[in-house]
A and B are shown apart, each in its own frame.
Chain A
């Protein structure tokens, strides 16, 4: 209000206007429907078309699902009960439940062992995923791989014990030498671990009892969703640190390390995973001495880990490149050495930037574990395509089985995705 007109437009309020509720059309569900579904004519047409599409889909699937039969012994019985009406034959899931989860040769009386390992997985993963939990829980996380191995494979307890000893020995050597130089500690630690494992190779067979507490289960008996989970969890947790190392190696100022990392990443990324898996199942055997039998699951784990670590390395390289040069300089100028600067300053930020990419690779990797069905391993998909669909009782039950497989994978992958979104929100400190 300009000063010149002040006297002519002067106004003094004598009565306050009471607060009133908005008119019905401006609030509540009616307003929402108007704004979102029927804002204008094209919108209204699209809304109606969408309703029709939803109706068509549901009218086809709902009766099929609701009419589903859960308690027969074969597809033929299902058809008999349905008498030509639409309805799913979910009984295959009930009848073959254990096979879908554990494969068809894993001894039924020890299903509790992988189940226990699965439950413990949550305990072990919790302190890693939710870092507000007490740090002491990480001790269990460190022990978990050996416990899980012992539970799932069984056999002599000395195998995981010596594997653990190798890791501990390697770590002690690393701590001892890392003061002098990071490379000495790193490679010294790895060498020490291998020496211990090599010695253990002679000792363990001598110590093994005739009847171990937990019966040994050979790798070829592993199957079902358990195999997918094993491959997924092991490969993701291995490929993350290896991917970080490769990404840092690719940035290294040492030409030899840089070349090794670049060649590895470019080679592995340029090869289809299926090819690597065939290499694992067939070709790799030629490179080992004839009497050395490297476990097929181990070979597959090595291949999938190589594959996904190359991808993760590239994702993390993107995160590293996104950091301003000033962060490196600030870390340097404070006198932090290379491992400290990376661990405390660079990687926490680079990894945070890379979370969506890493999760992308992890989800993709987890789903790709079904590819092992191609090299005749009986994972979830392998079980469905092989023993279950080939059986006379269930030949022809495609929809129910594959939808179940899809659902299992969806639950896990959606969980991973939700976790990563929570993590991103939790780590957001930049207040942009």
Chain B
């Protein structure tokens, strides 16, 4: 699968972050983040906890507000204008650590809700799309159940399908496998790998280094709110430059 990572990505810019800063009160979480993501790129962001990696990708769809600098997604500048924020959010899919499915709706309703209400898709068409993506994540037979009846891995795959139903151009993953049992991690990662192979632009916060090696074409290491190092996965893992990265890799790959 090494050639997947080496695949040429386009020159079209999907996300452009410039000198972005964020504070929680007086705590400086993100410092001078500069990041350009090209269409079709698959980026894995790793780093110790509290390094700001989740906050970074949550800033991209405005779940968190940044205070300085600029974020541009698909040519739309992220400002406090609600119209822009809603536009960006409907173009950017997101999967959470704790799935965040809507427990009062069936799996199918979870998937059709946003297309029907945000995209104004007719119900029938939305249901067909939903079934298409549920088949893709291999759980079409669970469509009429409620999230509480599914296993964690299944729920996360539904969450991915729910995002895909909005036909997003960019997918964000916030530690999608951290809340899962080991045997369920694989089924979710397989779904994400499949997605990557289809050329989806992906930003993924994860500790799954195997996944990073296999699909990422760029790995970013963050610490204390800054991007410390970024490189192609091969070089990143075999020859980390910064001592902080070396320490981190030795800790997580050491066992």
Q: Are B90 and A335 in contact, with the CB atoms below 8 A?
A: yes
With A329-B63, A349-B104 in contact, is A335–B166 under 8 Å at CB? yes
Q: Are A337 and B148 in contact, with the CB atoms below 8 A?
A: no
A424 within 8 A of B: no
Q: Are A334 and B162 in contact, with the CB atoms below 8 A?
A: yes
CA distance A371 to B176 in the complex (A): 57
With A333-B94, A335-B90, A337-B82 in contact, is A429–B103 under 8 Å at CB? yes
Closest to A181 in B: B82
Chain B residues with Cβ below 8 Å from A336 are 113-114, 117-118
Within the complex, the shortest CB–CB distance from A432 to chain B, in Å, comes to: 7
Within the complex, the shortest CB–CB distance from B227 to chain A, in Å, comes to: 23
Q: Mark out the residues of chain B between 73 and 132 whose CB falls within 8 Å of any chain A CB in the assembled complex.
A: 82, 86-87, 89-90, 92-94, 96, 98, 100-104, 113-114, 117-118
B61 within 8 A of A: yes
Q: Are A430 and B148 in contact, with the CB atoms below 8 A?
A: yes
Within the complex, the shortest CB–CB distance from B81 to chain A, in Å, comes to: 12
CA distance A340 to B163 in the complex (A): 17
Chain A residues with Cβ below 8 Å from B82 are 337
B239 within 8 A of A: no
Q: Are B104 and A429 in contact, with the CB atoms below 8 A?
A: yes
Chain B residues with Cβ below 8 Å from A337 are 82, 86
Instruction: Tell me which of B86, B96, B162, B163 contacts A329 (CB under 8 A).
Output: B96
Q: Are B90 and A430 in contact, with the CB atoms below 8 A?
A: no
Within the complex, the shortest CB–CB distance from B56 to chain A, in Å, comes to: 15
Q: Are A334 and B146 in contact, with the CB atoms below 8 A?
A: no
A290 within 8 A of B: no
Q: Are A335 and B114 in contact, with the CB atoms below 8 A?
A: yes
Q: Are A430 and B103 in contact, with the CB atoms below 8 A?
A: yes
Chain B residues with Cβ below 8 Å from A335 are 86-87, 89-90, 114, 118, 166
Closest to A337 in B: B86
Instruction: Tell me which of A331, A334, A427 contacts B104 (CB under 8 A).
Output: A427
Q: Max chain A CB contacts within 10 Å: which of B94, B104, B163?
A: B104
Instruction: Tell me which of A327, A344, A429 contacts B100 (CB under 8 A).
Output: A327
CA distance A349 to B147 in the complex (A): 14
With A330-B96, A333-B89, A334-B166 in contact, is A340–B117 under 8 Å at CB? yes
Chain A residues with Cβ below 8 Å from B148 are 429-432
Q: Mark out the residues of chain A between 321 and 346 whose CB falls within 8 Å of any chain B CB in the assembled complex.
A: 324, 326-327, 329-337, 340, 344-345
How would residues 22 to 61 of chain B score, 1 for a CB under 8 Å from any chain A CB and 0 otherwise? 0000000000000000000000000000000000000001
A348 within 8 A of B: yes
Instruction: Tell me which of B61, B146, B162 contacts A430 (CB under 8 A).
Output: B146
B149 within 8 A of A: yes
CA distance A403 to B121 in the complex (A): 58
Instruction: Tell me which of B62, B87, B113 contacts A334 (CB under 8 A).
Output: B113
Q: Mark out the residues of chain B between 150 and 188 whose CB falls within 8 Å of any chain A CB in the assembled complex.
A: 162-163, 166
Closest to B150 in A: A431
CA distance A330 to B96 in the complex (A): 8
Q: Are B96 and A334 in contact, with the CB atoms below 8 A?
A: no
Within the complex, the shortest CB–CB distance from B184 to chain A, in Å, comes to: 18
CA distance A337 to B163 in the complex (A): 16
Instruction: Tell me which of A331, A332, A333, A349 contacts B103 (CB under 8 A).
Output: A349
Chain A residues with Cβ below 8 Å from B149 are 431
A258 within 8 A of B: no
Closest to A341 in B: B117
CA distance A327 to B99 in the complex (A): 10
CA distance A430 to B148 in the complex (A): 5
Within the complex, the shortest CB–CB distance from A56 to chain B, in Å, comes to: 50
Chain B residues with Cβ below 8 Å from A334 are 89-90, 113-114, 118, 162-163, 166
CA distance A427 to B146 in the complex (A): 12
Q: Are B102 and A332 in contact, with the CB atoms below 8 A?
A: no
With A334-B89, A431-B148 in contact, is A344–B103 under 8 Å at CB? no
Q: Mark out the residues of chain A between 130 and 151 whose CB falls within 8 Å of any chain B CB in the assembled complex.
A: none
CA distance A412 to B96 in the complex (A): 46
Q: Are B89 and A332 in contact, with the CB atoms below 8 A?
A: yes
Instruction: Tell me which of B92, B113, B146 contacts A344 (CB under 8 A).
Output: B113
Instruction: Tell me which of B100, B104, B146 contacts A348 (CB under 8 A).
Output: B104
Q: Mark out the residues of chain A between 400 and 432 whose CB falls within 8 Å of any chain B CB in the assembled complex.
A: 427, 429-432
Closest to A345 in B: B102
Chain A residues with Cβ below 8 Å from B61 are 332-333
A79 within 8 A of B: no
Residues of A within 8 A of B (CB): 324, 326-327, 329-337, 340, 344-345, 348-349, 352, 427, 429-432
Question: What are 27 contact pairs spanning A and B, CB under 8 A?
Answer: A326-B96, A326-B100, A329-B96, A330-B100, A330-B102, A332-B61, A332-B62, A332-B63, A332-B89, A333-B89, A334-B113, A334-B114, A334-B118, A334-B166, A335-B86, A335-B90, A336-B114, A336-B117, A337-B82, A337-B86, A345-B102, A348-B104, A427-B104, A429-B104, A429-B146, A430-B146, A431-B146
Q: Please name the 5 residue pairs, one residue from A and one from B, whose CB atoms are nearest each other, closest first.
A: A335-B90, A431-B148, A330-B100, A326-B100, A334-B114
